[in-house]
Structure 1
């Protein structure tokens, strides 16, 4: 299993806890990235939103791509999995900028292609916002443009959304960045199976993840493509006793009143086609992060992680709070824990 983590570009992950002790700042981000390389994390996911989905739209939010370029220059091994939303980036110009960041990183850039869900954000910035299946049609065409510019000396393209005539991207990426994407609709799965390298999922129990991986593997084989990688979001709480872990879980999930970001959560629910019913209690942690139940003692977490490995999962994308302190604990007690006979 590879262990990755969400970079806290929003200043935290808990919608019911206003101050988590990790500001949205370059200083915190740089320190976290450099330390994470030393303690066993192989990847960081850098989310892309112009407004703050966790703490409320007006709260500080770091820009994903300038942050990624800076981190590329101050890290050595960390894979930088940066979210990109096709309706916010022209593919030809994006391909050029991303290739340059990959050059800085020495081949460590990866994309997390996200077909946007936040209509209000797009409206505020004067950008196109497509309906559900159209978003994936745009994403598919956008990826063709990016891939073409990364692979051909001069690239011509004429599509429904984009066009290019003898467009040039030089220098090209050091190596082809891994393309991650997620989605649970038929349109999303079809696009991902045909055009991406890895499938990332919201959190769910291992018995729910197993058939999702099997289904995508079948789609991938039918498309004549090589096997995919599989990742999942999860929120982790590790403590010396199960009682301690459950007390922390109770603290972060208690809802006394709906916070500032609730309207965004409600909009997201109305704009997606999820396979499983969402519960209001899950508002506390994004991306269904509590469903994997990575809450308990080191031994309990290792057992659950083994179940996910058995289901075919390759990568855990972890959120914790406060991120720096909890990542240290998780690394010492779960990632690097000695194996007993």
Structure 2
């Protein structure tokens, strides 16, 4: 298909921002370059407070259960998320979770409690999983790509039913619920009947699942053309299922904003030149096989090259490299396509989150105001 660049028909809203929580060792790039980023809770508690004071609405906690490709140590996502929620006042924290390693009833209960403890700021990101060893070494079956997404979709349906129904009664291919009444329910409010449900994935299976059941669709880093195609496909499915406008969109991007473009480009060059080749190639072997295992070859990392995979989720492909003005213009390019949220990673988190809030975000807001005035 030819990607359409027609503006979104939604009521204009400010572009929102999330950041990848570095709760996994090794930072956000698979490189031996110096990274003044740490995976400890103390570092992350300070980071969360900096983030909510510098324009970030969300934080996404990664899920890893064992060492993989440069990430030797990892904190569990839901427990770490609760710690960050309790350390902040406004930040919404999204816990990445794997169906197959959680029962939907147990996860729904856990998040409902976290939601009460945080005043309604908990959310989940349902990821089907790409790392086979995380399942098989825990004695769990490894499903093929389409089956992992069928399970993830059923998981979302069941979690939502538990959060909204008094007596959940469901019998599916992967899970069962028998007259299950979850109390207390998570907190509800205007525009938020339950904690937000995000999902990852780029494949046709992922796009279909988002259109049918998810609140948010997270895309790997990609060009504007690639993101436009995904938004189009998800919205088409949503329309068929009576969910026009129900799905919002987030895009991953690794930001290198510096005072000059030359400085930013040099940082990117050094990251790639100092890539941990063995770790990147191991990661690439695992994830490109997963992406290409889809029926139509449209999967995460299916067309990623070596330099793309130095950043786990293709963040370099989004092109957030340059001066604050250049980065802000690139961010607005994605917003004009219908992107609601940018999920950002950084090399040196504390310093760069503050730089974003001080140098980049004001330009984004000025550009948004100018565009709103022109169309108004």
- Quickly name the TM-score band, shorter chain normalised: over 0.9
Distance 1:70 1:171 in 2: 21
1:170 to 183, 202, 208: 183
Q: Deviations over 1:14-48 (max 9, x none)?
A: 11126522221110111111111111111101111
* Shift of residue 106, structure 1, vs aligned partner: 1.1
Matching residue of 2:366 = 339
What are the within-5 Å matches in structure 2 for residues 112-131 of structure 1? 112-131=125-144
- Report the Cα offset of residue 235 of structure 1: 0.3
The answer as to 2:23 corresponding to 1:9 is yes
Is 1:233 paired with 2:252? yes
The aligned residue for residue 191 of structure 1 is 209
Instruction: Look up the SS of the partner of 2:335 in the other structure.
Output: helix
Q: Using the alignment, how far apart are the partners of 2:338 and 2:171 within structure 1?
A: 38
The residue matched to 1:72 in structure 2 has which SS? helix
Q: Assess if the C-alpha contact under 8 Å between 2:32 and 2:275 holds in 1.
A: no
Residue pair 2:280, 2:306 contacting (<8 A) in 1 also: no
Whole-angstrom CA distance in 2 between matches of 1:201 and 1:6: 14
CA contact (8 A) 1:10 1:54 kept: no
Paired residues of 2:69 and 2:282 also in contact (CA < 8 A):
no
Q: 1:153: how far off?
A: 1.9
Q: Does 1:269 align with 2:258?
A: no
- Contact in 2 for aligned 1:16/1:259 (Cα 8 Å): no
CA distance in 2, matches of 1:4, 1:87: 26
Q: Distance in 1 between matches of 2:39 and 2:205?
A: 34
2:117 counterpart of 1:104 = yes
Q: Indicate conservation of the 8 Å contact 1:213/1:312, yes or no.
A: yes
Q: Which residue of structure 2 aligns with residue 142 of structure 1?
A: 155
Give the alignment of 1:156-305 within 5 angstroms: 156-175=169-188, 176-227=194-245, 228-255=247-274, 258-260=277-279, 262-273=281-292, 274=298, 277-305=303-331
The equivalent residue for 1:330 is 356
User: What's the CA shift for 1:103?
Assistant: 1.0
* Deviation sequence 1:131-161 (CA, Å, 0-9, x none): 1111011112212221121112222222221
Deviation per CA, 1:168-206, whole angstroms, max 9, x where unpaired? 211111021111113232222222111101111011121
- Out of 320-329 and 203-212, give the one that drifted further: 203-212
Asked if residue 92 in structure 1 is aligned to residue 111 in structure 2, the reply is: no
Provide the rounded CA distance (Å) in 1 between the counterparts of 2:92 and 2:285: 32
C-alpha separation between the residues in 2 aligned to 1:256 and 1:167? 49
Residues 278 and 256 (structure 1), Cα distance of their counterparts in 2 relative to 1, 3 Å cut? closer
SS of 2:100's partner is helix
**Hey, what's the Cα distance between the residues in 1 that align with 2:275 and 2:30?**
11
Task: Quote how far apart the aligned CAs of 1:215 are.
Answer: 2.1
Q: Scaled by the length of structure 1, what TM-score is found?
A: 0.94
- Are 1:47 and 2:62 counterparts? yes
Alpha-carbon separation, structure 2, partners of 1:65 and 1:265: 27
Structure 2 spans left out of the alignment, 5+ residues: 1-14, 189-193, 293-297, 371-376
Secondary structure, in 3 states, of the residue corresponding to 1:40? coil
SS in 2 for 1:96: helix
Aligned residue-pair number:
339
TM-score, normalised to structure 2, is: 0.86
Alignment partner of 1:88: what SS?
coil
Please give the alpha-carbon distance, in whole angstroms, between the structure 1 residues aligned to 2:84 and 2:316: 28
Cα gap change, 1:261 to 1:116, in 2 (>3 Å) = same
Q: Distance in 1 between matches of 2:137 and 2:35?
A: 28
Cα offset for 1:255? 4.5
Counterpart contact for 2:202–2:220, Cα < 8 Å = no
- Relative to 1, partners in 2 of residues 1:323 and 1:50: Cα closer, same or farther, differing over 3 Å? same
Deviation at 1:212, TM superposition (A): 1.9
User: What is the alpha-carbon root mean square deviation over aligned residues?
Assistant: 1.8
